[in-house]
Amino acid sequence: MSQSTVADLLKDKAQQAQTALKSGLFSITPDSAVAEAVSSMTKNEISSMLVVEAGQMLGLITLRELLQGLSSHGGNLMQAKCRNVMKINPPVARPQDGVDHLRGLMTELHITHVPVIDQGVLVGILSFHDIARSAIKDVAFENQLLKQYIKNWPE
């Protein structure tokens, strides 16, 4: 269906971020308190936090990990270290991967965020929201083409 790639989604997301004045990758160290991650996620209005040490991604914290952490750590969750709640080695995508592949990965694994790695370097993160925005854009474009085609239909 879609010929778009992960690189296309990252480019679109960067353009959206510029208009929303929200850009960049948000990360935290594995020994930081979960409270710090939650504070940063809330302040920056994001739903995931990369866990990075010495330039290497070690894990990912999303709302799912926070809920699982609440279940296992109870009231002590906010004092727990990020390394104790993060998803270790989350599935990743590459810029050349197709959007359909990414959709399938996220749907099959029931995940909402996928970090993007290019030649061993973390270059971005995509959410299910980013994919939905892309799908809406694709449908709107196809709709426009169909309307143009029908309008110019030979009689």
pLDDT grade, residue 16 (50/70/90)?
Answer: confident
Q: What pLDDT digit, counting tens, does each position of 46-73 carry?
A: 999 999 999 899 999 999 999 999 999 9
- Break the chain into its structural domains and give their ranges: 6-150
pLDDT at 137 over 80: no
Contact 32, 79 (CB under 8 A): no
**How high is the pLDDT of residue 2?**
47
- Domain spanning 6-150, CATH class: alpha beta
Contact 34, 85 (CB under 8 A): yes
pLDDT grade, residue 22 (50/70/90)?
Answer: low
Higher pLDDT, 150 or 47: 47
Buried b (16+ CB within 10 A) or exposed e, 126-148: bbbebbeebeeeeeeeeeeeeee
